[in-house]
Structure 1
Amino acid sequence: MVVHWLHPTKGYKLNVDGSSIFNPGPTGSGEILHGLQGEVIFGFSKSFGFKTSLEVEAEGLLFCQHQHVLNIQVEMDSLVLLNIVQDRTPIPWQLYSIIIETRFSLSSLHALLVHVYRQANMVADLLASKGSSNIDLNLLLLI
């Protein structure tokens, strides 16, 4: 099976990933935002300190809220987190407040959350790995 990244069908597409050297341990988040034609609008890696990969990936989902990006498709390779955010799995107590905030944020931004294989999320995965290595990067800002 060949897996690759696809352009957004409408609006914007955010690929997000979290990384943890140990779990819990030093963590990082990677996000990359694409426009309708697939152009990179913004990308970054950020170190989040000592957490679990699930915690940091949940925090990464709040990126859309802070950028006020509407009509966005959010792709992630964590099926566990996707199921938690979509209320298919109970919220772990450590993530309760961030998940409630994330649900509200994604709803108000008309965001669609989608699971993708890691191969379709490679850039966000690489950025998250940089973040967990304590490397904060800002790639580009076009908006």
Structure 2
Amino acid sequence: MRDRMEPQVNTDKSTASAKAPKTAVGSQDCSCAEARAHLEAFLDRECTADLTERLAQHVATCLHCSRIADAETHLREILRSRCAEQAPPELRARVLGRLSTLRATAVSVTTTSTTTRTQASASGRVVRIVESRVESSRTIRMEGD
């Protein structure tokens, strides 16, 4: 059974080579698998210039990948429009008040190391030795804007 994401493959080599997109010298054609693998980065404009060019050319010439890119773009627009709400003023005031309180609070951070070992004394008694060592200590004071 064929993968639903794969476009139909034309077995006629002469037709396939005639429809193959032309690319710049030194660059390779982009496959549907590569386009799907990099689609999110491509839509977020996080690809290298060469990859962006190859993906854009592939999406422009491949009906299947073009539809996938359009569907993903449409989904992102829907999500963006649904996330446009702002918090109620009371909640914003509470959060900002709490943040300003936290900014004015000093925080002390101390890192300690504890080692426990058992040792026999000269008289033959077993003694448990616990050593604690302060490895670092610092105070962070966060102040308002």
Greater relative contact order, per chain length (Cα 8 Å cut-off, separation 6+): 1
Q: Which has the higher strand share?
A: 1
TM-score by length of 1: 0.25
Instruction: Write 1 or 2 for the structure with the bigger share of helix.
Output: 2
Q: Name the larger-Rg structure.
A: 2
